[in-house]
Structure 1
Amino acid sequence: MAQQARSYHHGSLREELVREGRALLIEEGQQAVTVRELARRVGVSHGAPLRHFRDRDAVLAAIAADGFDELRGYLEAARGEGALERRLTEYIRAHARFAQHNGPLMQLMFSSTDDGTNAGRDPEAQSSAERFFAVGAELLGESSPESMGPMPFLVAATTEGISALAATGRLPEDRVDEVVVAAVRALLPQIEQQLGTAAQGPVTAPGG
């Protein structure tokens, strides 16, 4: 059934296209997101979106960037949640909930571009992803991406794994919190050690 086009304020067509594209992605999958279909759903001419996006890949990149920006917001909010254990728990829980409601978006965000699109290589999506990962690394005491240790990757793998299980239903919704709490408690000693090492600064060998 055709969807009635949504109204938008002058100058906000780009944002409306991203919102509509995200909804279409989640409802019908990545292949359904086309410039022509978005123009139809928003209620503009077929050429209007091309004033903001060069092609379909650019639309998908903007949708992915929007997803990373939202996840970064959850991560930044978690930084003010008190003790480290609570901050990590709140963040991973929010990440899992995001995945439950945005499974196809998560797949787009974290895919390797093997699906034939170039969304993952787009500068906008790449920049949003890098900002997201930088905030996470900072939370774990890592200040330089060039010299990052294994802990941010381990936490990312745990977080994305829980979220993937939740998004596909392999992790029942009523057990997400239980698994998140167990994961944080398992990781916490190593994270606290990492933060302690970062606070001490680099170790200099005797006579160095």
Structure 2
Amino acid sequence: MAQQARSYHHGSLREELVREGRALLIEKGQQAVTVRELARRVGVSHGAPLRHFRDRDAVLDAIAADGFDELRGLLEAARGMGAFEPRFTEYIRAHVRFAQRNGPLMQLMFASSVDGTSAVRDPEVQSSAERFFALGAELLGERNLGSTGPMPFLVAATAEGISTLVATGRLPEDRVDEVVVAAVRALLPQIEERLGVAARDSTAAADA
């Protein structure tokens, strides 16, 4: 049975379109996300979304930005867990859970553009991605946010790689935590070394 359009009554239409677009992306894939289909699902005229988004690509960019903001929130939550190792472990766990639930969204977020070309991303996506990587860089001891080192990208690749193994059935879900802990322990010496360098640099700067 075809899904009936939901009646839109309150709140921000833009936010509702992004939420519905994200659900549609995860349910049916990127090609299913169209302005007309979102209008139908939200219950507005097909021209109403164009008051908030110039076209379909703009909708996809907003969905990607929303994903980066959620990932940054997971990282913020993990930062409050005391010692570095447990908070880093919890972040990797949370990142893996996010990727498991939102595979098509992760693919959209980390694509070079919504259509897979090398075109420049929308400023909203770029800003959200930069905030996410900047916070990760800070957690990992990177202080020069204008030139982020490789560690935040290595951490993201590790989390996404574990998630892919689970999604493809190559890693049983009951072994995810075991693999996460092993990955953290493998990365920890490099991160702790980087944190030590950052701490020494901060002390030297304060004494100068």
TM-score with structure 1 setting the length: 0.90
SS at match of 2:46: coil
**C-alpha distance in 2 between matches for 1:116 and 1:100:** 22
Residue identity in the other structure for 2:126: Q
What are the within-5 Å matches in structure 2 for residues 78-97 of structure 1? 78-97=78-97
**C-alpha distance in 2 between matches for 1:102 and 1:123:** 22
Q: Aligned pair in 2 of structure 1 residues 10, 117: CA closer, same or farther (>3 Å)?
A: farther
**C-alpha distance in 2 between matches for 1:129 and 1:4:** 34
**C-alpha distance in 2 between matches for 1:75 and 1:7:** 35
2:61–2:114 Cα contact (<8 Å) kept: no
What are the within-5 Å matches in structure 2 for residues 57-76 of structure 1? 57-76=57-76
User: Corresponding residue for 2:55?
Assistant: 55
Provide the identity percentage.
84
Shift of 1:161: 1.8
**C-alpha distance in 2 between matches for 1:52 and 1:168:** 37
Shift of 1:189: 1.3
Moved more, 46-55 or 148-157: 148-157
1:96–1:163 Cα contact (<8 Å) kept: yes
1:95–1:159 Cα contact (<8 Å) kept: yes
Per-residue displacement from partner, 1:78-111 (whole Å, max 9, x unpaired)?
Answer: 0001111111110010111111111111111111
User: Corresponding residue for 2:101?
Assistant: 101
What are the within-5 Å matches in structure 2 for residues 1-208 of structure 1? 1-113=1-113, 115-116=115-116, 121-201=121-201
1:96–1:167 Cα contact (<8 Å) kept: no
Residue identity in the other structure for 2:113: T
Residue identity in the other structure for 1:20: E
Q: Aligned pair in 2 of structure 1 residues 116, 154: CA closer, same or farther (>3 Å)?
A: closer
Moved more, 165-174 or 129-138: 165-174
**C-alpha distance in 2 between matches for 1:119 and 1:63:** 17
SS at match of 2:152: helix
**C-alpha distance in 1 between matches for 2:133 and 2:5:** 35
Residue identity in the other structure for 1:52: H
Q: Aligned pair in 2 of structure 1 residues 111, 38: CA closer, same or farther (>3 Å)?
A: same
SS at match of 1:112: coil
1:58–1:119 Cα contact (<8 Å) kept: no
Residue identity in the other structure for 2:124: E
**C-alpha distance in 1 between matches for 2:36 and 2:119:** 18
1:74–1:94 Cα contact (<8 Å) kept: yes
SS at match of 1:146: coil
Which runs of 5 or more residues in structure 2 are unaligned? none
Shift of 1:117: 6.8
TM-score with structure 2 setting the length: 0.90
1:21–1:38 Cα contact (<8 Å) kept: yes
Shift of 1:11: 4.8
Moved more, 121-130 or 10-19: 10-19
SS at match of 2:154: helix
SS at match of 2:146: helix
Residue identity in the other structure for 1:60: L
